[in-house]
Amino acid sequence: MCRMLLYKGNQPIQLAHLLTKPAHSIINQSFDSRLRLDTRRPINGDGFGVGWYESEPDPELGAAPCIFTSVTPAWNNMNLIRLADKIKSPLVFAHVRASTAGSVSESNCHPWQYGRLMFMHNGNIADFHLIKRKVQESLTDEIFLTVNGNTDSEWAFAVFLNQLKTPRQAEPFCHSVLKEAMLKTIAKLNAWGKEAGITEASMMNFAVTDGVSVVCSRYISSRTLEAASLYFSSGTRFESYKPGHYRMIKADKREDIVVIASEPLTFEKADWLTIPSNTVVVITSKLNVLMYPIVDEYHNPTPLGRAPEGASVAVVQGEGRGDGARDQNHREVVFVEDHRAIPTVPAVDSPRPDKEQNALGLSESTARDVPARALANTAPVMVA
């Protein structure tokens, strides 16, 4: 199973601070992955990719991201190290691949780009060969012809694009549009799997961005199994206090940086919260972070750290824009009603480890308590 990382910040960050310099950077995770569900294949050496957006709009360069991919292992690519030292960006996607479907080739390396959109995936679509024809038949000709590789992940991106009315639009998308397209993509893949009689659970940790907002999911088509690991950290600065060791600094209540990763980049337990299974996370253009439970037949509101059933957890940094915050430096955690549900598919579970072993000291069973403790320590505030 792959590892992925995304960063969004008010200020550009040198890519090396995410990709190469931390002791548990995503490059090091390519050979020292500690939270993979599939412990039989601990190496993510089937290629890598990194994508980023320009810090300032440039009409000549356009709004599309720049993406660098290679089939060489990430730990053994000098070009990646050189680029990471010289590039800064306010929005970065990075991915190291362990192939579950598709050949080892650059066309199969994440992330992928379409217009201003960028997409990556950690997980697998169970028995994808049984639904591949259905997936292809559902696509418009334009979207069908954009797929260059043969992975389940890139076809999932095509399904996502097909949910958008104007996937190649030049203007940024509303984050709610990207969220709904993500939910529809998950629902359609589940429905096709049900029609094909697939019983194995699919793991769909997807991430997509238009260069302005970000939407990602931590999802498994099961009520009882844990999805592939996904962690969240935010603060005002991400800095090194000694070689290889980083921490997220929270100098005030503002959120200037958001990092989401398959595995924590730091050894500071307080820096990271576990994103609950079957949750979609939205990072808005203003760095507000919203978490919504995915309410379908696999929704399980009982695990510790989940929001109450029928609610969404909204972690909000206010900016005096009438979004519920009282002032610029106020951060709220509120429960927001969300009665929307997506199409259902009966759950049939297959055996899988019931928890993820975390050599960083954040075992899944322990880390699952972290969001609950964090929410318990932040008094919910009524939003006018």
Active site residues: 2
* Alpha-carbon span 104 to 98, nearest angstrom: 9
For residues 96 and 46, give the distance between their C-alpha atoms in angstroms, rounded to a whole number: 8
Structure-block tokens of residue 225 = 């199994």
Q: What are phi and psi of 188, to 5 degrees?
A: -65, -40
From the list 91, 116, 367, the residue with the least C-alpha distance to 230 is 367
Torsion of CA 178, 183, 188, 191, to 10 degrees: 180
Distances (CA, A) of 230 to 207, 296, 362: 11, 20, 12
Give the other-Cβ count within 10 Å of 376's Cβ: 11
Length of the chain: 384
